[in-house]
Structure 1
């Protein structure tokens, strides 16, 4: 069964992982976030309970 032979696939996996972690990931992390987190406190709106007419 040739799929059990890790010889070509292991090298491809390692090279892909290295290229992602060393080349692509640092370039992606330099971009600024389009929606940065804000330090505002979330406000809760006060709601009134629904009054059912039959109770």
Structure 2
């Protein structure tokens, strides 16, 4: 069964993994988040119950 032969695909997988982990990932981690998390407590909106006209 040829799909069990790792010879043609192992190098491709290894090269892709190394490229991602050594080149692409450090570049992605240097980007700043445009919406950084804040430490303030979330505000809870004041809601009023709906008044149904038939009740």
TM-score (norm 2): 0.79
Structure 1 residues without counterparts, runs of 5 or longer: none
Whether 1:45 and 2:45 are equivalent positions in the alignment is yes
What does residue range 2-13 of structure 1 map to in structure 2 within 5 Å?
A: 2-13=2-13
Alpha-carbon distance in 2 for matches of 1:8, 1:19: 18
The number of aligned residues is 55
Bigger mean CA deviation after superposition, 27-36 or 3-12: 3-12
Instruction: Give me the TM-score of the superposition, normalised by structure 1.
Output: 0.79
Structure 2 alignment gaps of length 5 or more: none
RMSD: 1.4
